Chains A and B, each alone.
Chain A
Amino acid sequence: MAAIEVRLPVARKLVVQSLAQGSDKHLVAPGDTITTDTGYMRGHGTYMGDEKLVASVAGAVERVNKLICVKALKTRYNGEVGDIVVGRVTEVQQKRWKVETNARLDSVLLLSSMNLPGGELRRRSAEDELAMRDYLQEGDLISAEVQAVFSDGAVSLHTRSLKYGKLGQGVLVQVSPSLVKRQKTHFHDLPCGASVILGNNGFIWIYPTPEQKNEEAGGFVTDLEPVSLHDREVISRLRNCILALVAQKLMLYDTSIVYCYEASHPHQIKDVLKPEVMQEIVLETRQRLLELEG
């Protein structure tokens, strides 16, 4: 018998505020003056107005020597060359696909930037152009790397390696791009039994670890075999843990996700999304991360 829980709303409060902050962050809103000292170079999120440096986005001020920039807390994805992104195909055009990556403009995946089966290198012919829809249709998910950024901010993607390509069965979680930590690698095989791709654009893909690791087909063959119940439980628990970390505004990277997963073990998977359980798990995760650092 399912128990349906109806409750009264409780005002949200962030868990991390209750723990001691190392250094106080200088938070600004658009229009706030950052500094009147003209010796600084202006970076992203700032502009010069009336002899002083003014913020154009809402976020925290970061200073590296002479460069001042404002890192926004919630923003659309801004492409940088070399980022790993997970995107959804929205259109199939003549020689390219339009991919939605939570940016201001749809990203572009050119046919010439897509890897062919088996990794062969050849010039794309007219037959390849006609067969585009056979490979990627509207709604398909892909993992890709940013090749270039156009002048209007649109991002050009490529899947030139066999580890990128069309994604198979799994779960997609959409978060703000500012919560994904930049690391050396964004493809993780977690010890709990599932794999995760942390896209820099905030799209996080959780999928069951494939058995054969050496045979990376580049996503040409989609495996539609049913996933085992144990793997499903791991994936659902990971998804709920990631949503808990996002609700409490913690940075997402493999260590924080693994700690949060381990902290959620005493609770049932569906209970992880309850506000009080979320606070408890994230508090424990935060404490373990602090112990790890210091």
Chain B
Amino acid sequence: MASVVLSEAEKVYVVHGIQEDLRVDGRGCEDYRCIEVETDVVSNTSGSARVKLGHTDILVGVKAEMGTPKLENPNEGYLEFFVDCSANATPEFEGRGGEELATEIVNTLYRIFSSESTIDVKSLCINPREHCWVLYVDVLLLECGGNLFDAISIAVKAALFNTRIPKVRVLEDEEGSKEIELSDDPYDCIRLNVDNVPCIITLSKIGCRHVVDATLQEEACSLASLLLSVTSRGTFTCMKKLGNGSLDPESIFEMMETGKRVGKTLHASLQKILDKEESLGTTRQKVGFLG
């Protein structure tokens, strides 16, 4: 992960500030930086989203392709995740440097989506045991400014919300061979229900308190963090501890409470802005990458 080097005095300043609930940029311990979300930025995908959280910039594209269902789940479609850490984000990601981080993020994404209730995979099935929709979710890290996991999960949720899968009909011939017909209308498509898609909240333990949405400087001062994936109803689907330091069980409970609170607020704000963007329709001014 990209990191900055700080002097001892700077770390002491950050830690004391957090104890008094005043971080370096004036935020409280439970405040997020300003989040900017834009969907439908990549034209040749089924759905895409771009999220900017301070200096962290994430681009997610979702492509829906036809495939065969997995043997264990013949009546369901599935999701495949891929993360690319671009060398633009930090020189450490040049060549194969970003592979370790990418594998960690992919494994986390598989874990949080492993629960059955997150996304309705049965609706992705076309012909049991023969055809189903496979959603390839590609995440591109454009800039690393701290708090990667949160930004990635917000972008994945927004991209899945934006995904439009074309409607298909299965026709049976007299011989019994099945033919798949795509509808002629390009706007005839099915949307995914993202109400239960969780968002990741990373809580970093700094000193005796924990903060949400840590910047790179704050991550350098924290010894341990807890990664929680929270749904909009406040239920957890996955929990993971990062970092070398240890966490007291009591502080874990406190962090879980904070995560639940913050998670519910985040989901509410995100859904509101996604609905607002949808309602603007064609009148929305696309900002894209040159704004």
Shortest CB distance A288–B (Å): 23
Shortest CB distance A218–B (Å): 15
A-side interface residues, number (CB < 8 Å):
41
A236 touches B52 (CB 8 A): no
A1 touches B36 (CB 8 A): no
> How far does the alpha carbon of A9 sit from the alpha carbon of B37 in the complex, in Å?
7
Which of these, B5, B9, B31, B287, contacts A169 with CB under 8 Å? B9
Shortest CB distance B92–A (Å): 15
A6 touches B35 (CB 8 A): yes
> How far does the alpha carbon of A170 sit from the alpha carbon of B7 in the complex, in Å?
10
Using an 8 Å CB-CB cutoff, how does the interface string of A229-268 with B read, 1 for contact, 0 for none?
1001100110110000000000000000000000000001
A-B contacts, CB under 8 A, total: 120
Q: Output the residue of B9, B38, B262 with the most chain A CB within 10 A.
A: B9
Using an 8 Å CB-CB cutoff, how does the interface string of B1-29 with A read, 1 for contact, 0 for none?
00001111110110011001011111110
Output the nearest chain B residue to A90 by Cβ-Cβ distance: B5
Shortest CB distance A2–B (Å): 4
B273 touches A7 (CB 8 A): yes
A8 touches B273 (CB 8 A): yes
B262 touches A139 (CB 8 A): no
A239 touches B266 (CB 8 A): no
Output the nearest chain B residue to A11 by Cβ-Cβ distance: B291
A270 touches B52 (CB 8 A): no
A10 touches B287 (CB 8 A): yes
In the complex, whether A131 has a CB less than 8 A from a CB of chain B is no
> How far does the alpha carbon of A236 sit from the alpha carbon of B27 in the complex, in Å?
9
In the complex, whether B272 has a CB less than 8 A from a CB of chain A is yes
Output the nearest chain B residue to A172 by Cβ-Cβ distance: B10
- For B38, list chain A residues within 8 Å (CB): 8-9
Tell me the interface secondary structure of chain A in the complex.
loop
Shortest CB distance B263–A (Å): 10
B-side interface residues, number (CB < 8 Å):
43
In the complex, whether B79 has a CB less than 8 A from a CB of chain A is no
B276 touches A8 (CB 8 A): yes
Which of these, A2, A168, A240, contacts B262 with CB under 8 Å? A2
A11 touches B287 (CB 8 A): yes
B265 touches A170 (CB 8 A): no
- For A90, list chain B residues within 8 Å (CB): 5
Q: Output the residue of B26, B38, B277 with the most chain A CB within 10 A.
A: B26
- For B65, list chain A residues within 8 Å (CB): none
A139 touches B7 (CB 8 A): yes
Shortest CB distance A187–B (Å): 18
B13 touches A227 (CB 8 A): yes
In the complex, whether B87 has a CB less than 8 A from a CB of chain A is no
> How far does the alpha carbon of A171 sit from the alpha carbon of B266 in the complex, in Å?
29
- CB within 8 Å of A: which of B33-47? 33-38
| Known contacts A222-B9, A224-B12; A6 and B22 CB within 8 A of each other | no
User: Can you list 13 pairs linking A and B with CB atoms under 8 Å apart?
Assistant: A2-B262, A3-B265, A4-B32, A6-B269, A7-B273, A88-B7, A168-B9, A169-B9, A222-B9, A224-B9, A227-B17, A232-B22, A240-B25
List residues of B whose CB falls within 8 A of some A CB.
Answer: 5-10, 12-13, 16-17, 20, 22-28, 30-38, 52, 212, 261-262, 265-266, 269-270, 272-273, 276-277, 284-285, 287, 291
Q: Top 7 closest A-B pairs, CB basis? A: A269-B26, A2-B30, A11-B291, A270-B26, A169-B13, A139-B5, A236-B26
